[in-house]
Amino acid sequence: RLVESGGGLVQSGGSLTLSCVASPTRLESWAIGWFRQAPGKEREGVSCISTLGNNVIYSDAVKGRATVWTDNGGNTAYLTIRNLKPEDTAVYYCAAGRRGDGLESSLYDYWGQGIQVTVSS
């Protein structure tokens, strides 16, 4: 089970950190992906971190503004996005999988329920 938290309303230019808590397992053997879906748009991959944290990927939309990490073998993954823009407004999801790391949703088997992030201009 994955549960996201940390969403909300943020002003443009601000930052936000999302958390993803996994239970009952620990995250060290899973790749964790972050996805988002804006109203009327397809879900898109934002970032992922491989098992053991030795590979991270960012989409072009957030590259240079985002950082993803886990708590080193614990059960929580994080995504920080800085310099938020109105186009970052979406429902954000974390997902876990063991089929490799990447931004394709098909790599992930378990999904959180999603959390709203709204960026005001």
Structural tokens at position 67: 């950082």
Site of tokens 């988002």: 36
79 exposure class (CB count in 10 Å sphere: 0-12, 13-18, 19+): buried
pLDDT 10s digits, 14-42: 999 999 998 877 777 789 999 999 999 99
97/29: higher pLDDT: 97
- Report pLDDT for 73: 67
pLDDT 10s digits, 28-85: 778 999 999 999 999 999 999 986 667 899 999 999 999 999 887 678 999 999 999 9
